């Protein structure tokens, strides 16, 4: 099928909920993607932070194929090996105690919210269910996680929404105190706000929030759907902030391109969700978990150091290009935001880069780059050369 035919077919039969770029993707290798006509694109997106091992990574392909052949699915009413091994690795590498596996980021956050409310209900009874989240955050597209998202623009159309969310300004402890009350059970944050524009929280602020949570027996819920699984140069971003969250959600990159998500819970939260309180048919799929194990094997400490080095290199090289449309860069590891200067439009810039063979994302007011974590220097340099040519 040609790109033109594919666009027409999609337009007719797939619900029109995405503002797509005019590019069809057919196959990929490393950090390179190709359309049906064979045109090449350097990928600075990883889907949206999903394909951390790039495309066609042989150990991943082999593990997925072998597990698909051996056992594709068994319900959670039975025991299977890959999710048990993946949960063990995640706990051992983070200091958390146990995992619940789900399928997507919003769904993982739903589980995290349910856990926080039940933790409080079990201990204090009704009336202590409010969760404070941050302005400019993004937590998902379900009726509840839309409300957890601290952006007014998402609180529309789908009334009535779930009650019990209040919002505080990021990096502002006084604002958090102002939202506090006897009815609060948890605080929920992204350590680097992703969709909001790649905005890292301050370390001192996060540590102060963690302390406040411990004092008031609020659960500290960290949404690492985008920052998790090596993206920021540590397995989870919280490891760079020196805190141990009560619950952490993960998704996007966890299985290197297959749909999987989950939450990691600390010891005190281990038994909050018991049989009959939380479940999902597809969760802990053995093929996805086998893929996730390859991701974990690949993301060694040395590999994670490389992620930091690559992120620093990309940011420094982008700033050195001194392009008229770009200001400063920000972020953590290979989660990079670029300021777009007044008079320029982020959508136009993205379209121009994509037209020239470099896939990029936007977020909040600027550009966002989430390259595959395995990206090579040669691939980064090729992307930078496209940036210079297209925007110089």
CA separation for the pair 83, 243 (Å, rounded): 26
- Note whether 138 binds ligand PLP by CB under 6 A: yes
Asked if 150 touches ligand PLP (CB under 6 A), the answer is no
Calpha distance 359→289 (Å, rounded): 28
Instruction: Say which residues have a Cβ less than 8 Å from residue 42's Cβ, sequence separation at least 6.
Output: 31, 32, 357, 358, 359, 379, 382, 383, 386
Which of 43, 96, 110, 223 is the binder for ligand PLP (CB under 6 A)? 223
Task: Identify the sign of the CA torsion 303, 308, 311, 313.
Answer: negative
Least distance CB 223 / ligand PLP (angstroms): 5
Residues that bind ligand PLP (rule: CB under 6 A) add up to a total of 14
> In this chain, which stretch among 171-179, 221-229, 311-319, 328-336 interacts with ligand PLP, using CB under 6 A?
221-229
Residue of the chain from 24, 102, 168, 225 that contacts ligand PLP (CB under 6 A): 225
Is 154 a binding residue for ligand PLP by CB under 6 A? The answer is: no
Residue 236 interacts with ligand PLP (CB under 6 A): yes or no: no
Pick left, alpha or beta for residue 228 (phi over 0 → left; psi -120 to 50 → alpha; otherwise beta): beta
Interatomic CA distance for residues 80 and 282, integer angstroms = 13
Tell me the two tokens of residue 111: 């589980």
Two tokens, residue 279? 């479940």
Binding flag, residue 194, ligand PLP (CB under 6 A): yes
Which residue from 53, 11, 148 is spatially nearest to 374, judged by alpha carbons?
53
Q: Which is nearer to ligand PLP, 89 or 142 (CB)?
A: 142
The nearest distance, CB 190 to ligand PLP, in angstroms, is 5
From the list 4-12, 20-28, 135-143, 169-177, the region that binds ligand PLP by CB under 6 A is: 135-143
The smaller minimum CB distance to ligand PLP, of residues 139 and 346, is found at 139
* 257 counts as binding ligand PLP under rule CB under 6 A: no
Note if the bond before 228 is cis, omega within 30 degrees.
no
For residue 52, state whether it binds ligand PLP (rule: CB under 6 A): no
Residue 254 and residue 296 in contact, taking contact as beta carbons nearer than 8 Å: no
Q: Check binding of 106 to ligand PLP (CB under 6 A).
A: yes
Work out whether 332 is an interface residue with ligand PLP (CB under 6 A).
no
**104 counts as binding ligand PLP under rule CB under 6 A:** yes
Q: 25 with 33: CB under 8 angstroms? A: yes
When computed from its CA atoms, the radius of gyration of the chain, rounded to whole angstroms, is 21
Q: Where are the beta strands (DSSP E) in 323-360?
A: 326-332, 335-340, 358-359
Q: Is the Cβ of residue 193 or residue 387 nearer to ligand PLP in the bound state?
A: 193
| Stretch of residues binding ligand PLP (CB under 6 A), selected from 118-126, 132-140, 167-175, 333-341 | 132-140
Span near ligand PLP by CB under 6 A; candidates 190-198, 240-248, 279-287, 344-352: 190-198
Residues found near ligand PLP in the complex (CB under 6 A): 104-106, 109, 138-140, 190, 194-195, 223, 225-226, 251
């Amino acid at each position: 099928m040609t790109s033109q035919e594919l666009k027409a077919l999609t337009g007719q039969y797939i619900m029109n909920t995405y503002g797509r770029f005019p590019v069809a993707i057919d196959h990929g290798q490393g950090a390179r993607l190709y359309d049906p006509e064979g045109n090449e694109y350097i990928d600075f997106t990883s889907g949206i932070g999903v394909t951390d091992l790039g495309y066609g990574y042989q150990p991943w392909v082999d593990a997925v194929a072998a597990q698909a052949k051996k056992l594709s699915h068994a319900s959670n009413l039975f025991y299977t090996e890959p999710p048990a091994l993946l949960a063990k690795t995640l706990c051992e590498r983070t200091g958390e105690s146990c995992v619940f596996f789900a399928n997507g980021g919003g769904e993982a956050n739903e589980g995290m919210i349910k856990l926080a409310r039940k933790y409080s209900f079990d201990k204090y009874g009704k009336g202590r269910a409010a969760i404070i989240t941050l302005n400019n955050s993004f937590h998902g597209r379900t009726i509840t996680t839309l409300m957890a998202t601290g952006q007014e623009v998402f609180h529309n159309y789908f009334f009535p929404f779930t009650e019990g969310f209040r919002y505080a300004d990021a990096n502002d402890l006084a604002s958090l105190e102002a939202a506090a009350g006897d009815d609060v059970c948890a605080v929920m944050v992204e350590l680097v706000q992703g969709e909001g524009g790649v905005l890292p929280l301050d370390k001192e602020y996060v540590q102060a929030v963690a302390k406040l949570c411990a004092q008031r027996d609020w659960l500290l819920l960290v949404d690492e759907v985008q920052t998790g699984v090596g993206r920021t140069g540590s397995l989870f971003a919280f490891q760079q902030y020196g805190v141990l969250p009560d619950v952490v959600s993960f998704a996007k990159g966890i299985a290197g391109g297959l749909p999987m998500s989950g939450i990691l819970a600390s010891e005190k939260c281990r038994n909050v969700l018991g049989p009959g309180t939380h479940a999902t048919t597809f969760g802990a799929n053995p093929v996805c978990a086998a893929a996730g194990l390859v991701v974990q094997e690949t993301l060694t400490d040395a590999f994670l150091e490389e992620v930091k080095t690559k992120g620093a290199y990309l940011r420094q090289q982008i700033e050195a290009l001194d392009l008229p449309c770009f200001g400063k860069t920000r972020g953590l590891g290979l989660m990079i935001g670029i300021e777009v200067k007044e008079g320029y439009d982020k959508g136009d810039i993205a379209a121009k880069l994509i037209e020239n063979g470099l896939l990029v994302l936007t977020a909040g007011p600027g550009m966002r780059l989430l390259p595959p974590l395995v990206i090579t220097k040669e691939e980064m340099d090729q992307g930078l050369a496209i940036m210079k040519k297209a925007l110089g």
